[in-house]
Amino acid sequence: MLLALAMAVTHTNRKGKIYTLCRSPRAARTGKVRHHFALSSDEGIACDFMPEGFEVSESPNGLISLAKARPKLVRSEEARLVDEPLVKHPQSHRFRVHVAADRNEIHESTASDLNGQLTVVPNARPSYERTYHALLTTADLGGLWQLVRQTGVAAQYHLEEMRLERDEEGFPYLVCRQETPTKERVGYVAMWIGVFVDPRSLLPGYHHSELYVPFVVLPRHFDERLTGDPRVAVGHEVLHVKDVVALIERDPSYLPRMRELAINNLEDPRRLGDSVEFEVFRVFHFEARALATEYAIGENTIRIPVLFLVISYRCASRQQYLELMLANAVVNLWDEYERKLADRTDELRGHFDRALAMFGTDVFGDRVTLAHIEELCRGFWRELPAYLGRARK
């Protein structure tokens, strides 16, 4: 805690020693004043205020110093999760938790008491959610755009620029504009993708070489007939970004599993069942909530391109909207796997049925199978001519 003693800024460390903030005389060569904490105010001129942009820092050994203020990427509750088990350790006096800028550190004494030097044991990753917010709100956006370009994704998707926006709740997200080479109108209004970048040049104190950065892609040219209000489509993708940030924060295994099990990354044929389970989970985790939100704000129409036409089908209920849209997503996923693994269709069906039983019952009921979803889609197409006939009357 900072105290004012005789107008001087002081700080008492965990060992009870009082440090005083001092400043040295102005250097003749640079003209700058240097500030530091000392055990005796005789080591400089005592200061009665903190320099702007600086804060008190205490090392694991209790040494007090002046440090540049930086965004805190570790939450207090995360520090407690590390600290509380150590308190119960039979030799808890040998350990100390130190909250660094971007991680929790556990230090162990090399002596019989805590007057000995402390060495760092394992390094805990910082909060992903806090790091994401720090990157978007404090880092140089131009520098981040350069990091994204270095991954090759900008060339792959013909991305031209990046900007920062916020939704109605203040959530920050990145938006990239997409320019197709021939300016043809694409069949989507928005989509979201993500890349791994090395953010250390943009986030001082962040010591990990990778960070997953999701963002929304908006094409300059799209078929307006495929959407009602474009803002709804954009909001759908922004909700995906919010959900993936929350998911990574809650489940750190998500990103390693994505890199290994996503359909386009799968290399080990023995992990096929795990891959299907992972992809089906993603369909229901991300799409179900986004579609329910769409319906709640008035989007109840499915738009289907057929040759040069776009057919609009208005769903009679929220349940029908969710079932048809999610069934289409599952069938599209099935088609991707079938194209990639045409010689393993029987095995694939078994994996899909098991995954649907795990994640699809809230929407489709307890007996959901791939065959059930395929029949739902076929029934939609059989009923569509009669629907269009009624709509013309």
Amino acid at 93: H
DSSP 369: -
Q: What confidence score (pLDDT) does residue 350 get?
A: 96
Q: What confidence score (pLDDT) does residue 121 get?
A: 44
Phi first, then psi: what are they for 65, rounded to 5°?
Answer: -145, 170
**Six token digits for residue 220:** 């300059």
Nearest to 9 by CA among 23, 21, 17: 21
Give the whole-angstrom CA distance, residue 167 versus residue 93: 47
Helices 318-340 and 272-282: crossing angle in degrees, nearest 10, is 150
**Six token digits for residue 344:** 């393993």
Q: What confidence score (pLDDT) does residue 114 get?
A: 38
Give the whole-angstrom CA distance, residue 296 versus residue 33: 60
Q: What confidence score (pLDDT) does residue 4 get?
A: 39
Say which residues have a Cβ less than 8 Å from residue 195's Cβ, sequence separation at least 6.
148, 151, 153, 212, 213
Domain spans in the chain, listed from the N-terminal domain onward: 1-69, 71-126, 128-392
pTM: 0.67
How many Cα atoms occupy the beta-carbon half-sphere of 342 within 13 Å?
1
Q: What confidence score (pLDDT) does residue 226 get?
A: 67
Q: Cβ(227)–Cβ(189) under 8 Å? A: yes
Q: What confidence score (pLDDT) does residue 28 get?
A: 45
DSSP 286: I
Q: What confidence score (pLDDT) does residue 96 get?
A: 67
Angle at 168 between CA 162 and CA 170, to 5 degrees: 65
Q: What confidence score (pLDDT) does residue 117 get?
A: 44
Could you state, in chain order, the average pLDDT of each consecutive group of 10 residues for the chain (393 residues)? 54 75 64 74 72 78 75 64 59 61 62 41 70 91 94 92 92 92 71 94 87 93 73 92 95 93 91 96 95 91 79 91 95 95 94 96 94 94 78 58
Tracing tokens 């600086």 back to the chain, one arrives at 54
Q: What confidence score (pLDDT) does residue 249 get?
A: 92
Say which residues have a Cβ less than 8 Å from residue 156's Cβ, sequence separation at least 6.
none
Q: What confidence score (pLDDT) does residue 65 get?
A: 80
**If you write DSSP's letter for every residue of 78-99 in order, what string do you get?**
HHHHHHHHHHTSTTGGGEEEEE
Helical segments of the chain, H only: 76-87, 128-138, 141-150, 153-157, 230-250, 254-261, 272-282, 288-296, 318-340, 345-359, 361-364, 370-392
Query: First-to-last CA distance in the chain?
Result: 77
User: For residue 192, what is the enclosing H or E element?
Assistant: strand 191-197
Measured CA distances, 349 to 28, 257, 271, 355, 356 (Å): 79, 21, 15, 10, 10
Say which residues have a Cβ less than 8 Å from residue 91's Cβ, sequence separation at least 6.
none
**Six token digits for residue 71:** 């965004």
